Amino acid sequence: MSITSALFGHTRRGTPVTAYQMRTSSGACAVILDYGATIQSLCVPGRDGKLVDVVLGYDTLEEYEANDGYLGATIGRFANRIAGGTFFLNGQEYRLAKNDGANHLHGGVCGFDKQLWQGKIEGDGLVFSRTSPDGEEGYPGALEIQVRFTLSEDNTLEIQYDAQADRDTPVNLTNHSYFNLAGRGTVSGHTLQICAERYAEGTADCMPTGRLLEVEGTPFDFRKEKTIGETFEYDHNFVLAGSPAARLCCPETGIVLTVETDLPGMQVYTSNMLGARTGKGGMELGLRSAVCLETQLFPDGMHHYGFSNPFLPAGQKLCTVTRYRFSQTP
């Protein structure tokens, strides 16, 4: 394993941004930016031994600053949506930015994805840390966060999230990588299996209704492997029922992605609202260009009884781990 760093670009304010590269002895590599603690590139071998970049991204920092979509970014303080951009905690109402219609999405206008993190090489991995100050994007309390990335010789990318706040606050951290195991085209022909008996029913604006419905007999039934297809657009939270959480496979390259996590939910998103744009190497992006497998607490959990508790008590340490294991079919 080798880890190197290089200048990726400068922000609009002139601050340098660093790209860190982790590379295994087999050639697999991950490039992670300290801007947004963002996975910019993730190359793993296919069935034929050739490396494939399996995540969407951009070639320049200017594109990351200018575009939405959260490509590869660390998401917080609260991933996914909060209805009405408001919540009550300890008898006080907190008002957040409404950056997704009438709702709050992925931490607000300037969430963790748009922040510059402090990156450092630590042992066999990379650690990105920052302090989200009290009141940032309307959230209570100062929150200390560390995100550790490691890439093992068996082509497993592990992400460990650690957080602690000085006041009670909602916390829901995830990574927003867009996976395309072919490295081009769409994921319509990818097969997907999810260890979930239920999913969170959503409204037209992707807000949970509070009902957790059975997947059986619905387009959400991925208990057995099936193609993602082109007839349905997914942006839904699945209630995970075991490990591994999911298995994504590309018949063309033979690359298999297995997702493992200790979190209770996973948002499956087929880049429905990504919008036409150009990504790395001139790749045209848009609907079904990739699928996101965002491990998380349930969206809008503060408004629905029975959802996972979204609040981190003051002084309590949060630690959660998600692993993305890559292998090949024969």
Q: Which residues are catalytic?
A: 176, 294
Three-state helix/strand/coil letters over the chain:
CEEEEEEEEECCCCCEEEEEEEECCCCCEEEEECECCEEEEEEEECCCCCEEECECCCCCHHHHHHCCCCCCCEECCECCEEHHHEEEECCEEEECCCCECCEEECCCCCCHHHCECEEEEECCEEEEEEEECCCHHHCCCCEEEEEEEEECCCCEEEEEEEEEECCCEECECEECCEECCCCCCCCCCCEEEECEEEEEEECCCCCEEEEEEECCCCCCCCCCCEECCCCCCCEEEEEECCCCCEEEECCCCCEEEEEEECCCEEEEECCCCCCCEECHHHCEECCCCCEEEEEECCCCHHHCCCCCCCEECCCCCEEEEEEEEEEECC
